[in-house]
Structure formats: structure tokens, C-alpha cells
Amino acid sequence: MEQSVKEILKHIGEDPTREGLLDTPRRVQKAWEFMCGGYKQDPKEIIQSALFKSSNKEMVIVKDIELYSTCEHHMLPIIGKAHVAYIPNGKVIGLSKIPRVVDVFSRRLQIQEQLTEQIADAINEAIEPEGVAVVIDARHMCMEMRGVQKICSTTITSALRGIFKKEKKTKDEFMSIISSSFHK
């Protein structure tokens, strides 16, 4: 990877041997290993590590989960927030595991639509709740830094499973709770 970064630097007209760039290939490699660390993690293991029996049947929401991902089309940042809800069916997840699941999928090359689906499906499959809802509100640097150059535009995606898809009032309750978090 370091050699590839040197080649990129040369290609854009830089000198990879100049002082400020000498360690850049190594730093870029470390950064990409971190930003794509989700490929080495299993969301099922994360969820299973903190799964508890519960009689709770009310909505559980973790909102405003910061996420940083990378667009698979241009390899530029996606920056946003995820809002995740589920209605337990005999099991609950340790609350800190929900942001960890978001990170697992965010730290891969992504499109936001797929990211939203992956988070919902992982939780749905692991705990078989009454329902799962995931909404992501994010900015895409591929739209802001290049191409259409629409600064501060956001994309909102949702994935609804179970009762959130079947019952409008459940979906509406979730959307009402998270709506104050959307970019304004």
C-alpha cells in the first residue's frame, strides 16, 4: 500500500521524497487500516457478547450515533448520524453494542443505502426483535468536494423491519423521537 501511495503522490504532481511527505505513505496505510477495520469484525459476535433476557416490550432507541464511513464509488468520506431502534422480544442488547455494530459496517467501503440495511439486518437476525428501525442522516464528501459540489446537503435513508414496517404508529413514534436530530 505504501508504494501505491507514493505512486498516487507522483501522479498528482507531488514529490514523495520531500520532507513533508516522507512518512505520508505509512500514515495513509495506517489510516486506511483503521477506516476499513470493519472488515475484520463480526457484528454477531459483538451483539452476542452483551445479550440479555428481558421482559421489556417497549421501544429502545440509541440516537445520534456519529458515523464515519467511506464512499465505495469515490473513496471519500461519508459523515453522519445513525439512529437505531428495536422492540425487544425476550432479549435486549447492551446499549454500547449498538454503536459498535454501526461502526463495524461504517468502517468498510459503503453506500449509505446498503449501510442502513446491514445495520438493521444484523440486529434483526441476532436478537429476532418485534421490529428494528435504522435511519441514517449523512453528508457525502463526494457530493460536496467534487461533482455537484452541494455543500451541506444530506441524504437520509431508512431500513424498517417487523412492527416498524407494519404499524404506522410505531414508525411515527420512532420518527418523532429522532426528528430533532436531523441536520437543519
pLDDT digits (tens, 9 = 90+) for 110-140: 999 999 999 999 999 999 999 999 999 999 9
Instruction: Give the dihedral of Cα atoms 79, 85, 89, 93; nearest 10 deg.
Output: 50
Whether 36 is catalytic is: no
Whether 114 is catalytic is: no
Structural domains of the chain in order of their starting residue, each with its CATH number? 2-35 (no CATH), 42-181 (3.30.1130.10)
| pTM, two decimal places | 0.93
Burial track 98-130 (b if 16+ CB lie within 10 A, e otherwise): bbbbbbbbbbbebbbeebbbbbbbbbbebbebb
Pick the catalytic residue: 2, 14, 71, 117? 71
Residue 45 CA to residue 118 CA, distance in Å, equals 15
Q: Which amino acid is at 116?
A: T
Whether 140 is catalytic is: yes
